[in-house]
Amino acid sequence: MTEGIKEQAAGQPELKRAIGPKLLLFFVVGDILGTGIYALTGQVAGRVGGALWLPFLLAFVIAFLTAFSYLELVGKFPQAAGAALYTHRAFKIQFLTFMVAFAVMCSGITSASSAAIAFGGTYLPKTFSITPTTALTTILAIVFVVLVALVNFRGVSESVKANVVLTCIELSGLLIIIAVGVFAVAGGDGDASRLTHIETKDQTWLVAITSATSLAFFAMVGFEDSVNMAEECKDPVRIFPKAMLWGMVVAATIYILVSVTSSLLVPADELQKAGSNALLKVLDIGAPGFPHVVFSAIGMFAVINSALINMMMASRLLYGMANERIIPKQLGIVHPFRRTPWVSILFTTAIAVVLVSTVDITILGGTTALLLLVVFAIVNVALLVLRKYKVSHPHFRTPTVIPVIAAALCLYLASPLSGRPARDYYVAGILLGAGLILWGINWLINRALGRHVELDPEALTKGGSD
């Protein structure tokens, strides 16, 4: 089966290398900015208190260290396959490669579900002056997921040039918050003492910080998906290091400034009570006359874009796994007219509908971060294993100590020692359990038919990004 797919791919023209360093920089920034900071600022404040900026800074440091591993790997293997490719090349264990790819897919679904709840519970009601209730939020979130699925089914794909426009719109909302903070503080408002206050409650300060960091990490993910654009970049080995690292620095700087502004102007307990409305609360305090509809519309656009990209990625990953016959092949059926993987779209949409109907946005954000922290730990270890493989072309090389530290920090934040709530593990376990069942069903079918399946990891990640 793998050979057939490779033969078919060999008959196709190469992807157009249209992405230069500036477009790649915008892609990285745009992929990171999105639902996280808009939807989870209040929940992070509830875990750490006024030192809201600290978890975002620590999340950036851990993501930044992991980025060095991705940079060496994408320089060594400049192909659009990401974590699945690196895992397969390093360990050559089909089941592990499958579970990594499935975890990335699940992280896309949980991230999109977070966006759906933020859309239905905050930004759509605020934009159109609707009073949100729990039932209405759930209904709007489900409708949102279905509409995203219809767009996905239609086969919409955005070019990187369009991503520049989308990034600028998303960025404008965060710059508004920063500008409001600057003017408010210049006018004598704000309480700087909040910036050093850590809310311990019934836990130690270390657990308070790491618990908040494990959630804030959700806001920093997305940088890893730029490796899926490697085959469409001009000289990826040369341009990736600067574009990825500077993109992460830009996004992290914006996040830290937003979190500092939020903490200066609004007490942590009020940010927590505001929930997904936390940034709107900052506007109320810092610029009482600023129209909610403008910021809400920007936030609504940000979560729509985030959900669409994530659901496209998730459905294409599922399609790739079905195409490789490592899950039931029916999930890889393509619509004859739209030429989109409609069965995998239905499957991923059904999971998202269940999640938005039953799970809180904080759990979804925490589950997304948990899944990707485990994937990042595996990627860091994979880099160390792949050091024994040499390539003829020059590429970026990171000091050995960096992936070691990054792997340890990722595993720590993914563990219960960081103060991560048990509910994150329950949701992640259920999602990965569904993947295990799909794998098992397909294994039994292949065994009964006497068919041996050899995994091609490069086929798993075609067609989307987080």
Digit-coded pLDDT (tens) for 266-279: 999 999 998 878 99
Q: With beta carbons less than 8 A apart as the criterion, state whether 423 and 50 touch.
A: no
Query: What does the alpha-carbon distance between residue 59 and residue 288 come to, in Å, rounded to a whole number?
Result: 31
Which residues are paired to 233 by β-bridges? 19
Determine the angle formed by the axes of helices 160-186 and 292-323, rounding to 10 degrees. 140
CATH number at residue 300: 1.20.1740.10
How far is residue 115's CA from residue 99's CA, in Å, rounded to a whole number? Answer: 24
Distance between CA 292 and CA 337 in Å, rounded? 42
Categorize the per-residue pLDDT at 224 as very low, low, confident or very high, splitting at 50, 70 and 90: confident
Q: Calculate the alpha carbon distances from 385 to 89, 96, 307, 394 in Å.
A: 9, 15, 34, 19
* Residue range 240-249, pLDDT digits in tens: 888 889 999 9
Range of the domain at 99: 2-8+19-459
pTM (2 d.p.): 0.82
**Phi, psi for 19 (deg, rounded to 5):** -100, 115
198/450: higher pLDDT: 198
Domain for residue 466, yes or no? no
Dump pLDDT digits (tens) for 273-301.
988 789 989 998 998 888 888 888 888 88
Q: Are 261 and 286 in contact (CB under 8 A)?
A: yes
- Given this model, what pLDDT does residue 179 score? 93
Would residue 72 count as lying in a domain? yes
Q: Tokens at residue 268, please?
A: 């942590």
How would DSSP label each residue in 226-257? GGGGGGGBSSHHHHHHHHHHHHHHHHHHHHHH
pLDDT at 14 over 70: no
Tell me the sheet residues that pair with 19. 233
Q: Please check whether residue 148 lies inside any domain of the structure.
A: yes
d(CA 307, CA 459): 23
Sign of torsion over alpha carbons 264, 300, 158, 83: positive
Residue 275 resides in a domain: yes
Sign of CA dihedral 88, 91, 92, 93: negative
Among 23, 465, 32, 20, residue whose Cα is nearest residue 223: 32
Radius of gyration (C-alpha) of the chain in whole angstroms: 21
Encode pLDDT of 399-447 as tens digits: 999 999 999 999 999 999 998 999 999 999 999 999 899 888 888 887 8
Please name the amino acid found at residue 249. Answer: V
Give the contacts of 86 (CB within 8 A, at least 6 positions apart). 73, 77, 379, 382, 383, 386
Q: Are 220 and 52 in contact (CB under 8 A)?
A: no
User: Cα(48)–Cα(145) distance, rounded to whole angstroms?
Assistant: 31
| Count: domains in the chain | 1
CA distance 247 to 250: 5
As a whole number of angstroms, the distance between CA 76 and CA 386 comes to 10
Flag whether 464 is in a domain.
no
Of the ranges 15-29, 307-321, 409-423, which one carries the lowest mean pLDDT score?
Answer: 15-29
Q: What is the pLDDT of residue 166?
A: 67
Mean pLDDT of the chain: 83
Tell me what percent of the residues of the chain surpass a pLDDT of 70.
Answer: 87
Q: Report if residue 315 sits inside a domain.
A: yes
- Average pLDDT for residues 369-378, to the nearest whole number? 94
Give strand pairing partners of 25: none
| 181 located within any domain | yes
pLDDT exceeds cutoff 60 at 4: no
pLDDT at 462 over 60: no
**pLDDT score at 429:** 95
Residue 465 lies inside a defined structural domain of this protein: no
Asked whether 58 and 213 are in contact (CB, 8 A), the reply is yes
Sign of the alpha-carbon torsion through 356, 354, 434, 156: negative
- As a three-state string, the secondary structure of 409-453 is HHHHHHCHHHCCCHHHHHHHHHHHHHHHHHHHHHHHHHHHHCCCC
Query: Tell me, what's the pLDDT at 277?
Result: 84
